[in-house]
């Protein structure tokens, strides 16, 4: 099973820090509906649903019939045998919202090391 975590922060973290973030995401005790997530995470969830519907997006519960997600990030899973067809689609969904990707199995982190929304004068 492939397990990937996605979130936004200014710097690409070490694999150790990414594992900590993963654990915070899956253990989040205060999940929220999709509409209350940061816009980047909302865009990612919607993008994955369209690009790779075979992917399971981790839901941390339900309220009023809606799935709940962690504000800290999103975790997705899919079977190993779908890796070649699904992995590129899921990672492509991170381009526009500029999210970091943590591959838990391979302990690999990738992302953008600076936030292009920050302007230095």
Provide the pLDDT for residue 111: 84
Give CA separation, 67 vs 33, 60, 93, in Å.
6, 7, 20
pLDDT of 46? 96
- Give the residues of the chain that fall short of pLDDT 50: 118-121
Q: Is 75 inside any structural domain?
A: yes
pLDDT number for residue 11:
86
Is 117 part of a structural domain of the chain?
no
Confidence (pLDDT) at 98: 84
64 in a domain, yes or no?
A: yes
119, part of any domain: no
In a domain, 2, yes or no: no
- Report the number of distinct structural domains present in the chain: 1
- For residue 112, the model assigns a pLDDT of 74
Q: Is residue 12 part of a domain?
A: yes
68 found inside a domain = yes
Residue 90 is given by DSSP the state: H
Domain range for 36: 8-110
CA 45 to chain centre: 8
Counting runs of H as helices and runs of E as strands, what totals does the chain give?
A: 3, 8
Q: Which two tokens stand for residue 39?
A: 């816009």
Residue at 98 is within a domain: yes
Whole-number pLDDT of residue 19: 98
**pLDDT value at residue 115:** 56
């Amino acid at each position: 099973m492939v397990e990937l975590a996605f979130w936004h922060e200014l710097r690409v973290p070490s694999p150790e820090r990414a594992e900590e973030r993963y654990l915070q995401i899956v253990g989040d005790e205060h999940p929220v509906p999709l509409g209350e997530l940061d816009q980047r995470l909302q865009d990612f969830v919607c993008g994955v649903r369209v690009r790779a519907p075979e992917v399971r997006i981790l839901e941390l519960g339900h309220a009023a019939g809606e799935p709940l997600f962690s504000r800290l990030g999103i975790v997705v899973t899919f079977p190993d045998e779908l890796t070649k067809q699904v992995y590129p689609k899921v990672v492509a969904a991170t381009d526009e919202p500029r999210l970091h990707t943590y591959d838990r199995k391979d302990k690999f982190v990738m992302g953008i090391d600076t936030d292009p929304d920050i302007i230095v004068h």
